[in-house]
């Protein structure tokens, strides 16, 4: 087992890794920018190293600085958290070249799944169902028109190197494809330096269902059920729950086995999430995230496992501590992402926290790096906390979420907490009857009208 690991991240996810490591008796090193010198992850780690100025490109994305921090402190492994360098295959290779261990999958698996066309082709070969669409990148508008006529409208044009909703455009009819194709390519070029796009059938009322998988890197893998992440704004998740309210036990077992078998065949190591669009009883693969997800706590809650601990164990060469046979779902869990943002615009609002009080009680977990007097820097993502609740069933989890939100105090900055208070009054949310377009439509007719 490792004696010391470096956490190449910040905020609540850095704290999450530090806590797991401490329970395992492993020392931790926090890296930080000058803007984060007083951050909670820096305070809680055994050691800390400043790796650069505030902009992420000069600090948390600076590979030489992170490697140097390992050499200075004697850290043997690096946990990337999520975001930043967590899915950077080049970083993983450099880590390995310096005789360090990357706590996550191999560079090859990250590279394969990082390109959406290659990922789709790979999943098809592994027996995972995919959305009908182009076999690869679509080179020109003429090809796009012909393909769309074959697939049938509506379609969605996506950047092959895309993420976060950028480089994605929907064409409802043949009259829309020219603009959608050109705009998607232009956005992709600007955001990712790569204007290649592909085209898929656009499902009209799907849910976003993702399967949590975990592999030992030696041909064994399991699935830990699904999460429903359909409540999204601009392709960004805001509310996640497990198990999915629309998924039957039979569907869960079937698609879960398909996913576990797929990652086992490629000797995948560590945590991964295979994401699907789900409509009318059918699953369609969209992408695989080769890292820990923001919403991993809801899976931990219903299965009673520590996914970060398991990541560290597998990276150290130890076997998984659970098998498919002893992974049983217990109850229901929900997570809401709380951002420092002004409603209804969702505009980032960094600032100083004058008072912070986390809710507590049975079945309540708060993952946050906030504290009284902390100043949220303006350089990073606006996510400041994740509130996770667990109950014996969905109704009790919703009631617990309502109670916990009422206890939460975050003074000094505006947050998205009022959004969740409002959503818990909606019958569709209480019944679980929603899809990936529901929140956008609701915002247009409710929150934006005051």
3-state secondary structure of 227: strand
Six-digit token string for 373: 């007097």
Strand order in the sheet with 155-163: 166-171, 155-163, 197-201
Contact present, 78 and 101 (Cβ < 8 Å): yes
Mark whether 291 is an active-site residue.
Answer: yes
User: Max Cα separation, the chain?
Assistant: 61
Helix (H, G, I), strand (E, B) or coil at 7: strand
What 3-state DSSP class applies to 421? Answer: helix
Which residues does residue 236 pair with via DSSP β-bridges, in sequence order? 233
CA dihedral 404, 231, 11, 67 (to 10 degrees): 150
Q: Distance (Å, rounded) from C-alpha 132 to C-alpha 443?
A: 30
Instruction: Find tokens 């050499």 and name the residue.
Output: 71
Q: Which residues contact 198 (CB under 8 A, 6 or more apart)?
A: 116, 117, 133, 134, 136, 137, 138, 157, 158, 160
Q: What are phi and psi of 161, to 5 degrees?
A: -100, 20
Which of 185, 252, 291, 349 is catalytic? The answer is: 291
**Sign, Cα dihedral of 240, 277, 218, 261:** positive
Q: Which pair of tokens denotes residue 10?
A: 């910040």
Q: What's the full length of the chain, in residues?
A: 450
- Residue (of 321, 293, 272) closest to 24 by Cα position: 321
- Determine the Cα–Cα distance for residues 336 and 298; give it in Å rounded to an integer: 10
C-beta of residue 355 within 8 angstroms of C-beta of residue 429? no
Beta bridge partners of 49: 31
Q: Write out the two tokens for 213.
A: 């998988």
Catalytically active residues, by annotation: 291
């Amino acid at each position: 087992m490792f004696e010391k690991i470096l956490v190449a991240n910040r905020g609540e996810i850095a704290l999450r890794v530090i806590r797991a490591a401490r329970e395992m008796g492993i020392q931790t090193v926090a890296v930080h920018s000058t803007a984060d010198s007083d951050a909670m992850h820096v305070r809680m780690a055994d050691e800390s190293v400043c790796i650069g100025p505030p902009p992420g490109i000069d600090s948390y994305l600076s590979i030489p600085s992170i490697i140097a921090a390992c050499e200075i402190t004697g850290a043997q492994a690096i946990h990337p958290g999520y975001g930043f360098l967590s899915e950077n295959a080049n970083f993983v290779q450099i880590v390995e070249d310096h005789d360090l261990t990357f706590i996550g999958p191999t560079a090859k698996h990250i590279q394969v799944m990082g390109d959406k066309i290659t990922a789709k082709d790979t999943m098809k070969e592994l027996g995972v169902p995919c959305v009908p669409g182009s076999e690869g990148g679509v080179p020109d508008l003429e090809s796009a028109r012909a393909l769309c006529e074959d697939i049938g409208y509506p379609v969605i044009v996506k950047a092959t190197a895309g993420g976060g909703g950028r480089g994605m455009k929907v064409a409802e009819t043949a009259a829309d494809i020219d603009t959608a194709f050109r705009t998607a390519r232009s956005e992709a070029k600007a955001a990712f330096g790569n204007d290649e796009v592909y085209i898929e059938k656009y499902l009209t009322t799907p849910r976003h269902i993702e399967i949590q998988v975990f592999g030992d890197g030696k041909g064994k893998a399991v699935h830990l059920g699904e999460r429903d992440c359909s409540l999204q704004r601009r392709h960004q998740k805001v509310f996640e729950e497990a198990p999915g309210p629309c998924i039957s036990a039979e569907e869960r077992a079937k698609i879960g086995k398909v996913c576990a078998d797929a990652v086992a065949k490629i000797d995948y190591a560590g945590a991964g999430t295979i994401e699907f669009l789900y409509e009318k009883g059918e699953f369609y693969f969209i992408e695989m995230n080769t890292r820990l997800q923001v919403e991993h706590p809801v899976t931990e809650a219903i299965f009673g496992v520590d996914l970060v601990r398991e990541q560290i164990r597998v990276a150290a060469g130890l076997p998984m501590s659970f098998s498919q046979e002893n992974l049983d779902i217990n109850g229901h869990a929900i997570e809401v992402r709380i951002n420092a943002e002004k409603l209804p615009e969702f505009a980032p609002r960094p600032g100083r926290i004058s008072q912070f009080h986390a809710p507590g009680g049975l079945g309540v977990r708060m993952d946050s790096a906030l504290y009284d007097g902390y100043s949220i820097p303006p350089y990073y993502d606006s996510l400041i906390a994740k509130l996770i609740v667990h109950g014996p069933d969905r109704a009790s989890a919703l009631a617990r979420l309502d109670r916990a939100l009422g206890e939460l105090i975050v003074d000094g900055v505006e947050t998205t907490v009022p959004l969740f208070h409002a959503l818990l009054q909606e019958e569709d949310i209480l019944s679980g009857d929603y899809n990936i377009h529901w929140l956008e439509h609701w915002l247009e007719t409710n929150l934006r009208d005051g």
